[in-house]
Amino acid sequence: MNKLNLSLLAAASVLAVGGVYGVSQEMHQTDFPSQSRSTKVGKAVPSKTNSDKELEVILKDPALSQAWGLNMTDAQKAWRVSKGSKDIRVAVIDTGVDVNHPDLTNNLWVNPGETGLDKNGKDKASNGVDDDGNGFVDDVHGWNFVNNTNDLKDTHGHGTHIAGIIGAEGGNGVGISGVAPKVSLMILKYYDPSSRSSDNLSNTVKAIEYAVKMNAHIINYSGGGLSPSPAEKQAIEMAMKKGILVVAAAGNERSNSDVKKYYPADYGLSNIVSVTAIDKEREVLPSSNWGVSTVHIAAPGNNILSTLPNGEYGMMTGTSQATAFVSGVAALIMANNSEMRKADRIIKYLTQTGDTDTNLIGKTMYMRRLNTYKALALQDMDLNLAGSKVDNTQNLSFTIGAQDIGGKKPASISSFGKQLRALVHTSDVAKRN
């Protein structure tokens, strides 16, 4: 029997009362049983949502100016290059989602095999038949592995929050935008605080297997635990064989992951990118794990505004939130360039194109924080160099340091793109040989 994280219950019960809540910066420490996966969040506290004067934006979602993480990562500029695509499927393995949230409902993945009419004229989505024969009945937007149904209801809030960071609908005049304003969110529920008896590790494994079977491009996993699981590792290896990217939270253990490993982030597989969280001042959060040989990149994770159940919005904090940022950027890149739909390749782009930051010395592998725009613009530049016609990178306006590409300072952004291309493709070839 797994012990439950009491802070999760606290968050869930406050949310149930209604209103808009955030999660305090102070993370609650709980001990995990071995062989368990959970999602840690702090205590819920009320937070204001009234928008300040709106910034000049590409997408005019009213609460967007409060989303500091999008600004730090240059998301607005990135959206000039790409706003994402429904073709990109991101599996959100979490606590479910508010499927009726006005900022999420249009960006939910729709299983093509469970839509339309069956031979009796009934809606495949609700006919009680496994129309696509994948082993799941009426799995239109994903699956609930806790109760083994297609009911994705989020009684916790975490999954709805994560889904919104990745892919709240942009430009619809409501709330916020996800990092990827357009995307398909495949909702895989592995955990429910009210279901004490369910095995969240085995649910995680089943959810990963589902994502692999249904051809997700990206798996977002913000949970984790301190003990490795052969079954979980095997499932992620299956994902690796298909080139599926697994974006995993570094964890909120306040510890060095090089010493005290956290799973699945630290299996060391080439398709896993491990993400730690920073605040507005670009400091790694005290609660977040770090590690120069285990943690790949840092992204915003403190007081992040996103969607919550019952159509609401609020803030949460942790490496979960940072993880969702990286998944969103990966979705944008994949939408923009089909050659980038391979995990190891996209991990190189994400890590090599981040902003170098001395705050990250001793904290992450490449001392970089996520920059959405750079990641997109540079792989777009890559297309240019490969001869394809791309005309939306004329206004490249960031600077490149020598450290951005292994010590040798490039003469121009174009040559940076060329060197990055060489780096990515050379190591691809090396890997195949």
**Shortest spacing between CB 73 and Ca ion, in angstroms:** 17
Catalytic entry in 28, 141, 156, 158 = 158
**Shortest spacing between CB 50 and Ca ion, in angstroms:** 16
Q: Binding of Ca ion at residue 132 (CB under 5 A)?
A: yes
Among 11, 104, 174, 340, binds Ca ion (CB under 5 A): 174
Q: Binding of Ca ion at residue 175 (CB under 5 A)?
A: yes
Q: State yes or no: is 87 an active-site residue.
A: no
Task: Say if CB 218 and CB 247 are below 8 A apart.
Answer: yes
Binders in 383-412 for Ca ion, by CB under 5 A? none
Q: Binding of Ca ion at residue 266 (CB under 5 A)?
A: no
- Please identify, among the stretches 14-22, 108-116, 257-265, 269-277, the one whose residues bind Ca ion according to the rule CB under 5 A: 108-116
DSSP letter for each residue of 355-404:
EE-GGGTTTSSS-EE--HHHHHHHHHHHHHHTT----S-TT------GGG
Both tokens assigned to 354: 């981040």
Among left, alpha and beta (phi > 0; psi -120 to 50; other), residue 162 is alpha
The closest residue (CB) to Ca ion is: 61
Q: Binding of Ca ion at residue 139 (CB under 5 A)?
A: yes
26-63: buried (b, 16+ CB within 10 Å) or exposed (e) per residue?
Answer: ebbeeebeebbbbbbbbebeebebeeeeeeebbbebeb
Binders in 49-78 for Ca ion, by CB under 5 A? 61
Q: Binding of Ca ion at residue 183 (CB under 5 A)?
A: no
Task: Say if CB 393 and CB 336 are below 8 A apart.
Answer: no
Distance CA 145, CA 126 (A): 18
Strands 245-249 and 218-221: parallel
Q: State yes or no: is 158 an active-site residue.
A: yes
- Please identify, among the stretches 98-106, 258-266, 348-356, 404-412, the one whose residues bind Ca ion according to the rule CB under 5 A: 98-106
Alpha carbon 218 to chain centroid, angstroms: 8
Catalytic entry in 36, 222, 320, 327 = 320
**Shortest spacing between CB 79 and Ca ion, in angstroms:** 12
- The Cα-based distances of 87 to 55, 115, 197, 263, 331 in angstroms read 29, 16, 36, 29, 9
Q: Binding of Ca ion at residue 415 (CB under 5 A)?
A: no
DSSP letter for each residue of 23-86:
E-SSPPP-PPPSS--B-----EEE------SPPP-SS--TTGGG-HHHHHTTHHHHHHH--EEE
Among residues 4, 16, 5, 14, the alpha carbon closest in space to that of 44 is found at 14
Among 24, 30, 105, 134, binds Ca ion (CB under 5 A): 134
Nearer to Ca ion, 119 or 241 (CB): 119
Q: Binding of Ca ion at residue 98 (CB under 5 A)?
A: no
Catalytic entry in 94, 98, 154, 404 = 94
Q: Binding of Ca ion at residue 131 (CB under 5 A)?
A: yes
Q: In degrees rounded to 5, what are phi and psi of residue 114?
A: -120, 30
Among 30, 51, 127, 310, binds Ca ion (CB under 5 A): 127
Nearer to Ca ion, 180 or 396 (CB): 180
Looking at residue 123, the DSSP 8-state letter turns out to be B
Q: State yes or no: is 391 an active-site residue.
A: no
**Shortest spacing between CB 85 and Ca ion, in angstroms:** 17
- Please identify, among the stretches 25-33, 97-105, 207-215, 337-345, the one whose residues bind Ca ion according to the rule CB under 5 A: 97-105
Radius of gyration of the chain (CA): 20
**Shortest spacing between CB 58 and Ca ion, in angstroms:** 12
Nearer to Ca ion, 114 or 380 (CB): 114
- Please identify, among the stretches 121-129, 189-197, 251-259, 260-268, the one whose residues bind Ca ion according to the rule CB under 5 A: 121-129
- Give contact residues for Ca ion (rule: CB under 5 A): 61, 103, 114, 124, 127, 129-132, 134, 136, 138-139, 169, 172, 174-175
Active site residues: 94, 158, 320
